[in-house]
Amino acid sequence: MFKKIKETTCFIKKAAGSFEPVCAMVLGSGLGHMFEDFSPVLELPYGSIPNFPVSTVKGHEGKLSFGYLENSPVVLLSGRFHYYEGYSMEQVVFPVRVMGQLGVRNVFFTNAAGGIHPGFRKGDLVVIRDHLNFMPNPLVGYNDENLGPRFPDMSQAYNRELMARAQAFSEETGMRVLTGCYVGLTGPSFETPAEYQAYRILGGDMIGMSTVPEVIAARHMGLRCFAVSVITNMAVPGHFNENSQQEVLDAAAEAGKNLSALLKAVLRGL
């Protein structure tokens, strides 16, 4: 795997030239166009990048965009890869591995999630403070010391300094920004009412089908992680309604302006 990562990294570095991003942002379902003030200096469709998978899910555009936000050089990953698409965990986390090899030290993750905390509302932004992983761990198998240690610590999977910046932004602006524990599941089916309740009992606040493997791989490489879920549907007693992907995309797009403001606030000063 490391040989492929290096090959892909060399290709991107050659294309990007002297551009060195300090942060990578993985944009989830329906969130690929939320930065109105972002003007890319370089765009690379995933299909043009050696060894990169190609996103097959509606709402995931599938390209790398290099440019500036808040005067900081960043790279946006518009679209991610999911285990439920049939990709291996090695493929799911491959882009994050490449970002680390590019020299990126901060990775921001976004996703659309179902709310299972009764205090949440559709459209809420929830900073992920911890997670429960019910997916295969991407570190299973041979450990390449070029990437990280055999047994990486996960006591601070989500960076406390970056979370504090989000909290300060919420207090300064009055924007509703919550924190919660994200439950990562394989999908692709939405959960049953009994499953939603069970994951709530276990300590989950929101539930989704991404992010956790990427965070594990990023922490394995020593990268700082910040993650935000957009609550796109509620799944609590009394609100177990039929779910659809279109509902998720519509709700994510509606929350995009607030999420953009939050991410830019955390980005400042990196």
Calculate the CA 260 to chain-centre distance: 14
268 φ, ψ (degrees, to nearest 5) = -55, 130
pLDDT at 1 over 90: no
How far is the C-alpha of 127 from the C-alpha of 109, rounded, in Å? Answer: 10
Distance between CA atoms of 95 and 78, rounded to whole angstroms? Answer: 11
* 137/106 Cα distance (integer angstroms): 21
Residues 6+ apart with CB under 8 A from 188: 82, 84, 209
Residue 35: pLDDT over 80: no
Structure tokens at 201: 């009992």
Residues 85-94, mean pLDDT to the nearest whole number: 96
pLDDT at 249: 67
Q: What gap in Å lies between CA 127 and CA 105, rounded to an integer?
A: 19
For 82-128, the DSSP string reads -GGGT--HHHHTHHHHHHHHHT--EEEEEEEEEE-STT--TT-EEEE
pLDDT score of 54: 80
Q: What is the pLDDT of residue 255?
A: 73
Reported as a single tens digit per residue, the pLDDT across 53-84 is 887 665 557 899 999 998 899 999 998 999 99
Who wins on pLDDT, 90 or 237?
Answer: 90
Q: Report the first-to-last Cα separation within the chain, whole angstroms.
A: 30
What CATH number should be reported for the domain whose range is 2-267? Answer: 3.40.50.1580
pTM: 0.93
